[in-house]
Chain A
Amino acid sequence: MIDNATIEEAAYEIMKKAAIDIPEDYLEGIRGMVDLETGDLSAFVLKAMLDNYETATEDRRPMCADTGLPRYWVKVGDAARFSGGFTGFERALRAATARATHDVPLRPNRVHPLWRNEHNNNVGINAPEVEWSFEPDVDWIDITTVHKGGLFGTDYRMLFPGDGIDGIKRFFLDTLIAFGKRGLACQPAIVGVGLGGSKDTCMQLGKQAACLRAVGDRNPDPKIAELELELKELGNSIGMGAMGFVGSSMVVDCHIEVGFTHTGGMPMSVHTFCLSSRRATARIAADGSIAYRSDPQWFTPYMRRETIEWPSQRALDKSA
């Protein structure tokens, strides 16, 4: 049985880790780009970022003072048991957010959209967001936090089936160029693309693709995997680098997630993560022990609903 104190401890720790320690996969991606970058200014920026990651880890201070919007993605195994109930679970996540905000410190970014008042702890109405998902046949709980910069680099467009891959490329370029100018999106970044679903699903998929997949990870559909690499190349051929200076470093990796959509449309969303790609995951085992990592491993076959049934479902059918 997993208790609330363990959940809070795990959530508190990943808040810290996300803010301070750059994920290894992303760091390797940036290192690879420095070597290829031909623009002097853009290369200088990337090297300064590498210094910054190192300083953050050495000093145990956040790599970026803009905390973005800290939030959680939770995956609960079917066989996981926890004592506090789901609302107790969420209370633990909220408490961890408030404590970490003071202790790290994180910038209290969350304010009321109209009255602009804040609680100085990144907790408020509908904040932090907690997205739940489930996993068949396991007894652990995964908690992931992401602190994503919030203002630039995300967009949505309704495309149509006839627009095809060309339409996807157009919108991809439009978004990268518009927000890449002067580096508003803090590129180079992992770029997530959501295709299909309804509008909100489309936004969600793109966001998860950007924030919850590691550099180098490919979509299991080989044709989509190919498109991911093609879009990455396309982004890096714009002629723009870090801070919008002349260069070639825009996209560290591109991840695409898809969902079945309306027969007449092909909605698309684009999300750029940023130079501080802050994510951290904790896995709480059934015995309450906690293991930390930086790859959320969010997209399991179940998560993508790749087939209409999966082992647990078959088991249920049999017992019925």
Chain B
Amino acid sequence: MAEPKGLRQVRLKLPASPQDIAALQLGSVVYLDGVVYTAREGVYERVLVRGEPLPEGLCEISNANFHCSPAAALEPDGSYAIGGVTATASFRFSKYMAEWLDRTGTKIVIGKAGMPREDYQKVLSPRGAVYLTTVGYGTGALLGRGVKRVREVHWLEELGIAQAMWMFEVENFGPFIVDSDLAGNSLFAQQGDLVNERIARLYDGLKPPALHRYGETDDRKREVM
């Protein structure tokens, strides 16, 4: 295991209790035990747009939504081989999250690269939810090792392996880094501000370009998401 020099380490049992979630601090390293489920646009569309019912018992089994598509294969005996597990960029799912959290009672959102800045205050913290980011982001083998069993899989036929909802039983599943807390602070936002402070000087002395590209932002402090 990597030595998280100076970083706090936490082991969290799922479904996570409100107290455990409240105690998470930005920048801490988290490992999870219990059940996490994957859901991304395919699942959100099925449930929130088409009105299909949630899998039975989901809300009791897990309150951690992983923005992920596993590298999985169906074995001849009907079981699943899970190789690597990697998050996919979360900001694309911003428009679904408020309703999804309301419907499922999800309190932990796990993914890649966090949510758009406004979402921490407007969507996550009012619902008692926090964001954990995967590390790297390509730690697919480490996370794959933490998946002990596929408990259930939903919409596999309709959505395919990448978009289906997978329920994973996990053990010492991580590392993740705490991006946001219940006050709506975000580590990504804070770190981004620090980086932005130094950007302008990088361009000092470089002559302006001949062609200014119409319609594109010149504000280098903005995020693409």
Contact = CB atoms under 8 A, between A and B. Distances in A.
Contacts of B188: 182, 244
B210 A163 contact: yes
A106 B162 CA distance: 11
A319 B195 CA distance: 63
B223 to A, nearest CB: 5
A91 interface: no
23 contacts: A41-B177, A44-B7, A49-B135, A51-B142, A52-B139, A52-B140, A63-B141, A64-B138, A66-B86, A111-B160, A159-B209, A163-B207, A166-B206, A166-B207, A167-B210, A178-B220, A178-B224, A182-B114, A184-B113, A238-B195, A239-B195, A243-B113, A246-B195
Given A43-B5, A239-B199, A276-B140, 20 more contacts: A41-B7, A44-B5, A51-B2, A52-B138, A63-B140, A64-B84, A65-B140, A102-B73, A105-B71, A111-B160, A111-B162, A158-B211, A173-B202, A182-B225, A184-B89, A243-B133, A243-B135, A244-B195, A246-B191, A275-B136
Contacts, number: 206
B72 A105 contact: yes
Contact of A245 (B68, B142, B191, B224): B191
A242 interface: yes
A239 B198 contact: yes
Interface of A: 40-41, 43-45, 47-53, 55-56, 59, 61-67, 101-109, 111, 118, 120, 149, 151-152, 157-160, 162-164, 166-167, 169-170, 173-174, 177-179, 181-184, 186, 234, 237-240, 242-246, 274-276
A102 B76 CA distance: 11
A55 B137 contact: no
Given A59-B144, A65-B86, A173-B202, A49 B136 contact: yes
Given A102-B73, A174-B220, A177-B220, A66 B191 contact: no
A101 B140 CA distance: 16
Contacts of A159: 209-211
Contacts of A120: 160-161
Interface in B201-219: 202-203, 206-207, 209-211, 213
B141 A157 contact: no
A102 B135 CA distance: 26
